[in-house]
């Protein structure tokens, strides 16, 4: 049995740089890996077992796709710690952990599993461009952040669609999707205000949501204090 760590990703900033002819949006983002992570155990066999969530179909997840992409078979047990639907890349992190374990290092190829998988495969801190497949590693900067994760998610396609309908607004806090996300899911505003009142800081939305974050450690009810982590070592 091999134990793997699948760090969550946090999108610190996100600008929309354009829209391709096929409708996909081009981004220019800064992403970091967090010490909030899923734990995976890989052993001989087949199948995926998910511990800690009863609303995830083990037969329909990115781990299965990652195993197929890498051309390997394994039995994978996942202990979920990254909240799903929060924009923290839990499924992508799990898939990337499997790709690293399998020795698969094609970042562009990993994009066929999902837009967040390439960054999660590289990890650490990086500038992410294109539709997520262009990942430029940056120097790791240790940071402490506080997250507030609402008990609901945001539909990424719906947020991008609303951004288009709004005429492509620029976000005031470094995230162009923030205005659209607040229109798609107005309840986000309540959580932003709660985090700002508790910390005295300006809260920022992570990607298309639904997680809000601020710099610094502000433990308290409903808040999670996390740290950034460097890139995971690639298998030799």
Going from the C-alpha of 54 to that of each of 39, 74, 121, the distances in angstroms are: 16, 21, 26
**14: which 2 tokens?**
């996100």
* 116 is annotated as an active-site residue: yes
- Rounded to whole angstroms, how far apart are CA atoms 77 and 203? 35
The DSSP code sequence of 107-144 is HHHHGGG-TTHHHHHH-SEEEEEETTTEEEEE-----E
* 9 is annotated as an active-site residue: yes
Phi, psi of 39 (to 5 degrees): -115, 130
**32: which 2 tokens?**
């970091």
Q: Which of 9, 38, 94, 176 is catalytic?
A: 9
Q: Which of 22, 55, 106, 116 is catalytic?
A: 116
Annotated catalytic residues are 9, 116
């Amino acid at each position: 049995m091999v134990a793997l760590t699948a760090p969550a990703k946090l999108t610190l900033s996100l600008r929309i740089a354009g829209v391709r002819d096929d409708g996909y949006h081009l981004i220019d983002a800064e992403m970091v890996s967090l010490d909030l992570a899923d734990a995976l155990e890989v052993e001989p066999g087949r199948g995926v077992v998910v511990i800690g969530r009863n609303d995830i179909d083990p037969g329909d997840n990115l781990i299965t796709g990652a195993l197929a992409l890498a051309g390997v078979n394994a039995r994978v047990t996942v202990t979920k710690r990254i909240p799903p639907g929060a924009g923290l890349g839990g499924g992508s992190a799990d898939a990337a952990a499997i790709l690293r374990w399998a020795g698969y290092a094609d970042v562009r190829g990993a994009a066929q599993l999902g837009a967040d998988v390439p960054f999660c495969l590289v990890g650490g801190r990086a500038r992410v461009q294109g539709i997520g497949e262009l990942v430029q590693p940056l120097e790791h900067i240790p940071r402490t952040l506080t997250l507030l994760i609402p008990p609901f998610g945001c539909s990424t396609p719906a947020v991008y669609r609303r951004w288009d309908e709004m005429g492509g607004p620029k976000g005031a806090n470094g995230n162009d999707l923030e205005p659209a996300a607040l229109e798609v899911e107005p309840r986000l505003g309540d959580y932003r205000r709660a985090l700002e009142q508790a910390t005295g800081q300006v809260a920022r939305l992570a990607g298309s949501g639904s997680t809000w974050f601020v710099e610094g450690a502000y433990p308290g009810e409903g808040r999670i204090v996390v740290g950034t982590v460097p890139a995971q070592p690639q298998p030799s």
